[in-house]
């Protein structure tokens, strides 16, 4: 017997009461209110004693800390009841925190605003502008005379002010981004729930609400992450993966001789409870984390960020060439052709060159992506997608395949027992009522069999599974595993409350749990068992699991109240008449069995009977007697079928990967639309070959086997299967991993003839690039597949902590429709970047072309350095926020995914940019050369007709800015659309920025003109109403 019974001694010295293991409560913050007590208890062990215990990890040290009474003595010193835990709320919380520390880290100090300012001030362009502004004050302001001095001081002052605005906006955006990352980190931390026991009640809390002295309940399924140091109190078959800390590749068995549970490790087998003795920065993992804490960053950058950064660098180089060309041309005209001796003009020429560079280098390009991803992650969170890695938002926009679970994702996860076969009696589906009351009332089923069945359901279920009733006292609220919750509800309908049964059964109650033996559910066995001692001696083993697995393990069954042998004919009959019948009604079928034995060895295996993964079955789970088969209905979510239709329209294939049997999976897939009656079924409604299969068939089709039976993945064989595959039933986590890796590596798209034949003969379209795979998972064993997929989705409700840790996005509602929402937002990120790029490059082309043309034909450019800086402010900061904040539209899911290797600049975008830039430059050159017809050019005869500070140049500056403001509306569309106003009512931020920019331009030209005329080189009276109309 491998069960651990560390506290198998008289507990009379420690007060205890009943342990309501099933009363699972999600604890509110109010219930966890911390009572302020005295500062600790002198009888408590010191923090040094506890940390030394975890460093030494010896029984001798445990005896020493426990005052020669070992673990029981340590519990006594910490004031912990080994069964009931601490009180709720913890009466001496602050004392424990003061003595042992808190189970959280001091918040990472965020970068102060002034540091972001310093970073921006170190930008080369900013430094050049400040240097030239200072130089202009020194040369012209000190050595100049009259108007020249006044203009120099005014221009330099405005230049300083403009630089101040630019660096503050850029610094603010970086400051805000860091805090958005921090908020995301806190939200993720809040989603990490642990199970603890207080006042004998099991409850869910977050890490910061756990203190030294608490008792934590754990298992390899739902609560596998150990986030603090502790000592094993009780457990069965507990094995921990400590490779991350010790490098030991094999799981470490925990027992009375090795009871030390180390923070940062994972429970990959068994279940139990542990006493928490070190938390936060004082536990082993905490010390490691603290040593590297200062190196933590604010989050990862997207791969697209790198592409845009490289593109910005290339565009900047073109800008440098153009700026230098313009500067050389001006110098040649000024000092070569015109023989000018006014060398103070060199200052203006250099300033103009720097202004061109400031506009030409699109530093807002990567910034726009960061803003788009941050805004998208926040919006997705409000739509039940908690984003852990920002680049997954972008990647999801290119998704071509979604491999989804069935239970809880496609279905509601509201399990109800609707049909049953018990004691040879068939209870078929009747309306929408559960089957339990009918079984209870039916006299054909022996009363003893009903009791045995109810006890099996109550005993052979996890501690975390249970239910309570809502405010109406009628609606059950399931907590833990939904399938087990449905069985527990049926047990109550049979007249047995699960909490009472668990408390009364020796080997299952908290007081006697060490006398029982349990084997928790694993995907390789697809069953669970629990052995409890019988009053007259020996053990009774309860088992439940997938119906066909249980059928393969039974040797007897009950018929008309009598126990009879189970032969092959009876197995076939039950498979056809019960299991297949229930499965075709889209019900999950669960087999329930038991056996009585004299002795039990939990580690003994049967060499003749194998699990689904080929490993030998445990002997205690063979030779069973079948009690019954129940059909559990989990209705399809009403929103799933429309969501899958949207996926197909968007060019995204949906494949179901489930542990259910094939018939149930096919029934659900047909209802959801994953299996289309026209595309995937024959005229009789039967599924075509390769469209739906079981995991064992799939494995044989995609692997090669050597003489010893060892499997090797064969990509070529896989490529012959996956284009057809829509449903994979009775799958293992390894099957998911095979799908993720195989789809990613597939190059079927390169075989154009094969793709053409698949489309013509099978109506199967292959995406013309490598597959981008999104994978859902909820179990611990799903973690490798979630890691290997391009985007891993973990279930927020039913998912294990390890699955959540491995995933990129957590589905807060476990709903497939939310994955489609993620795809839409992902595509929107890519579109937002394209919109900003289209806008940015159009302005760059216009400014560079205009300056080069003016320099070459020897005309003073109407855009001064301050005009260019104002345009830079509009382009980089304002436009990046405005265009990155565009919400997604349903039209995004009406086109294929983005090809991985497609250029981010499409042909249509290039046409748009060249066309608009040509219009802008052409109009500016026309108005620059032909201006006599423009009304109101002179207020007075002394006014210049053209040149700096004239109404002509003021009007050109105004026209160029307004063209950019309105081109921002054009940039909202990428595919030649004409209705540029469409959807503006859905983006108030965009309208606010656009209108705000327009108002600032009006204020600059009309209101501030008298003050800024020397600096901005605009007319002191601004523009007339007729010029505004033009």
Q: Please, what is the angle between helix 364-382 and helix 146-190, to 10°?
A: 30
Q: Strands (DSSP E) along 368-448, which ranges?
A: 385-387, 401-404, 416-422, 425-427
442 catalytic per annotation: no
CA distance readout (Å), 178 to 171, 172, 609, 982: 11, 10, 56, 33
CB atoms inside a 10 Å sphere around CB 1: 16
β-strand 215-219 against 266-278: which pairing, if any?
A: antiparallel
Element (H, E) at 565: strand 562-565
CA distance 1019 to 1006: 9
Structure tokens at 238: 């507990």
Structure tokens at 383: 């739509």
For residue 236, the 8-state DSSP code is E
CA dihedral 946, 947, 949, 953 (to 10 degrees): 70
Structure tokens at 404: 């989804």
For residue 332, the 8-state DSSP code is I
CA distance 889 to 828: 8
CA distance 96 to 80: 12
Element (H, E) at 1026: helix 1025-1029
For residue 247, the 8-state DSSP code is -
Helix residue ranges, H only, 783-873: 783-788, 801-806, 816-856, 865-872
Structure tokens at 44: 């408590």
For residue 621, the 8-state DSSP code is G
Contacts of 344 (CB under 8 A, 6+ apart): 139, 140, 144, 148
Contacts of 802 (CB under 8 A, 6+ apart): 224, 225, 266, 780, 783
Looking at the chain, how many residues does it have?
Answer: 1030
Helix residue ranges, H only, 272-399: 284-292, 303-331, 345-360, 364-382, 391-396
Cis peptide upstream of residue 412 (ω within 30 degrees of 0): no
CA dihedral 969, 970, 974, 976 (to 10 degrees): 140
Contacts of 981 (CB under 8 A, 6+ apart): 969
Structure tokens at 117: 């300012």
CB atoms inside a 10 Å sphere around CB 306: 12
Residue with tokens 């006398």, as numbered in its chain: 515
CA distance 675 to 729: 13
CA distance 47 to 61: 14
CA distance 484 to 461: 6
Q: Among 405, 653, 735, 778, which one carries the catalytic annotation?
A: 405
Contacts of 202 (CB under 8 A, 6+ apart): 20, 21, 22, 23, 24, 25, 195, 196, 217, 463, 464
**Are 254 and 239 a contacting pair, CB within 8 Å?**
yes
Among residues 465, 444, 618, the alpha carbon closest in space to that of 527 is found at 618
CA distance 485 to 480: 7
CA distance 403 to 658: 10
CA distance 902 to 872: 29
Active site residues: 405
């Amino acid at each position: 017997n491998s069960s651990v019974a560390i506290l198998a001694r008289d507990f009379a010295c420690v007060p205890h009461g009943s342990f309501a293991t099933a009363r699972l409560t999600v604890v509110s913050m109010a219930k966890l209110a911390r009572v302020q007590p005295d500062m600790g208890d002198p009888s408590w062990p010191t923090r040094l004693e506890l940390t030394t215990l975890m460093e030494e990890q010896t029984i001798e040290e445990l005896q020493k800390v426990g005052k020669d009474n070992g673990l029981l003595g340590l519990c006594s010193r910490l004031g912990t009841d080994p069964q009931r835990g601490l009180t709720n709320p913890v009466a001496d919380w602050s004392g424990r925190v003061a003595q042992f520390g808190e189970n959280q880290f001091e918040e990472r100090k965020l970068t102060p605003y002034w540091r972001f300012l310093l970073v921006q001030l170190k930008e080369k362009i900013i430094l050049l502008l400040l240097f030239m502004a200072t130089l202009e004050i020194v040369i012209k302001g000190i050595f100049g005379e009259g108007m020249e001095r006044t203009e120099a001081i005014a221009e330099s002052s405005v230049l300083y002010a403009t630089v101040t605005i630019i660096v503050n906006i850029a610094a603010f955006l970086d400051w805000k981004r860091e805090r958005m990352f921090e908020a995301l980190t806190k939200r993720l931390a809040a989603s990490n729930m642990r199970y603890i026991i207080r006042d004998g009640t099991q409850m869910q809390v977050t890490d910061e609400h756990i203190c030294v002295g608490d008792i934590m309940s754990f298992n390899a399924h739902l609560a596998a992450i150990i986030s603090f140091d502790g000592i094993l109190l009780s457990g069965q078959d507990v094995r921990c993966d400590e490779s991350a800390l010790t490098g030991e590749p094999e799981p470490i068995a925990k027992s009375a001789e090795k009871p030390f549970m180390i923070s940062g490790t994972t429970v990959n087998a068994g279940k139990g409870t542990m006493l928490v003795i070190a938390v936060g920065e004082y536990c082993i993992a905490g010390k490691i984390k603290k040593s590297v804490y200062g190196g933590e960053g604010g989050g990862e950058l997207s791969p697209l960020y790198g592409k845009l950064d490289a593109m910005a660098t290339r565009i900047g180089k073109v800008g440098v060439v153009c700026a230098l060309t313009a500067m050389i041309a001006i110098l040649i005209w000024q000092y070569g052709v015109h023989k000018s001796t006014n060398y103070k003009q060199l200052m203006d020429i250099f300033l103009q060159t720097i202004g061109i560079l400031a506009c030409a280098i699109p530093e807002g390009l990567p910034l726009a992506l960061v803003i788009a991803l941050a805004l998208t992650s926040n919006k997705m969170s409000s739509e039940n997608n908690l984003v852990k890695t920002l680049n997954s938002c972008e990647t999801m926009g290119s998704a071509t395949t979604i491999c989804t679970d069935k239970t809880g994702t496609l279905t509601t996860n509201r399990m109800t027992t609707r049909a049953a076969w018990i004691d040879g009696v068939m209870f078929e589906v009747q309306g929408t009522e559960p089957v339990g009351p009918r079984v209870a009332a039916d006299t054909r089923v022996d009363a003893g069999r009903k009791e045995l069945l109810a006890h099996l359901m109550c005993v052979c279920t996890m501690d975390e599974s249970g239910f309570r009733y809502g405010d109406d006292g009628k609606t059950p609220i399931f907590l833990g595993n939904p399938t087990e919750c449905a069985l527990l509800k049926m047990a109550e309908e049979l007249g047995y409350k699960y909490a009472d049964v668990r408390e009364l059964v020796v080997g299952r109650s908290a007081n006697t749990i060490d006398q029982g033996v349990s084997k928790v559910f694993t995907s390789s066995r697809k069953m669970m068992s629990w052995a409890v001692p019988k009053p007259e001696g020996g053990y009774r083993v309860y088992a439940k699991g997938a119906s066909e697995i249980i059928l393969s393990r039974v040797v007897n069954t009950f018929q008309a109240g009598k126990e009879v042998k189970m032969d092959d004919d009876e197995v076939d009959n039950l498979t056809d008449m019960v299991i297949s019948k229930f499965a075709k009604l889209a019900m999950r079928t669960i087999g329930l069995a038991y056996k009585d034995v004299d002795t039990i060895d939990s580690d003994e295996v049967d060499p003749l009977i194998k699990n689904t993964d080929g490993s030998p079955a445990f002997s205690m789970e063979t030779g069973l007697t079948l009690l019954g088969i129940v059909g559990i209905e989990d209705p399809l979510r009403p929103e799933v079928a429309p969501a899958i239709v949207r996926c197909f329209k968007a060019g995204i294939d949906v494949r179901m990967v489930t542990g259910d049997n094939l018939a149930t999976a096919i029934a659900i897939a047909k209802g959801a639309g994953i299996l289309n009656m026209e595309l995937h079924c024959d005229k009789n409604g039967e599924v075509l070959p390769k469209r739906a299969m079981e995991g064992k068939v799939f494995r044989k089709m995609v692997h090669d086997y050597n003489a010893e039976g060892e499997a090797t993945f064969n990509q070529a064989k896989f490529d012959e299967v996956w284009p057809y595959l829509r449903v994979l039933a009775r799958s293992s986590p390894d099957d998911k991993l095979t799908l993720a890796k195989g789809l990613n590596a597939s190059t079927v798209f390169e075989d154009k003839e094969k793709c053409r034949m698949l489309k013509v003969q099978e109506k199967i379209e292959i995406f013309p690039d490598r597959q981008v795979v999104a994978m859902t998972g909820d179990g611990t064993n799903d973690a490798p597949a979630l890691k290997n997929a391009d985007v891993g989705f973990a279930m927020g409700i039913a998912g294990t902590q390890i699955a959540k840790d491995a995933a990129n996005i957590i589905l807060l509602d476990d709903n497939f429709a939310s994955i489609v929402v993620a795809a839409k937002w992902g595509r929107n990120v890519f579109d937002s970047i394209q919109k900003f790029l289209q806008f940015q490059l159009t302005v760059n082309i216009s400014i560079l072309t205009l300056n080069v043309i003016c320099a070459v034909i020897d005309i003073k450019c109407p855009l001064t350095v301050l005009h260019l800086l104002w345009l830079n402010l509009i382009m980089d900061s304002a436009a990046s926020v405005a265009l990155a904040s565009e919400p997604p539209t349903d039209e995004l899911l009406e086109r294929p995914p983005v090809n991985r290797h497609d250029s981010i600049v499409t042909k249509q975008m290039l046409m748009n940019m060249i066309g608009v830039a040509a219009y802008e430059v052409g109009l500016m050159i026309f108005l620059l050369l032909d201006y006599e017809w423009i009304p109101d050019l002179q207020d007075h005869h002394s006014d210049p007709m053209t040149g700096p500070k004239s109404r002509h140049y003021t009007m050109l500056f105004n026209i160029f800015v307004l063209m950019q403001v309105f081109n921002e509306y054009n940039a909202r569309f990428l595919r030649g659309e004409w209705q540029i106003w469409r959807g503006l009512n859905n983006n108030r931020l965009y309208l606010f920025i656009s209108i705000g920019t327009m108002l600032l331009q009006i204020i600059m030209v009309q209101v501030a003109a008298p003050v800024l005329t020397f600096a901005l080189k605009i007319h002191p009276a601004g523009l007339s109403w007729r010029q505004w109309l033009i």
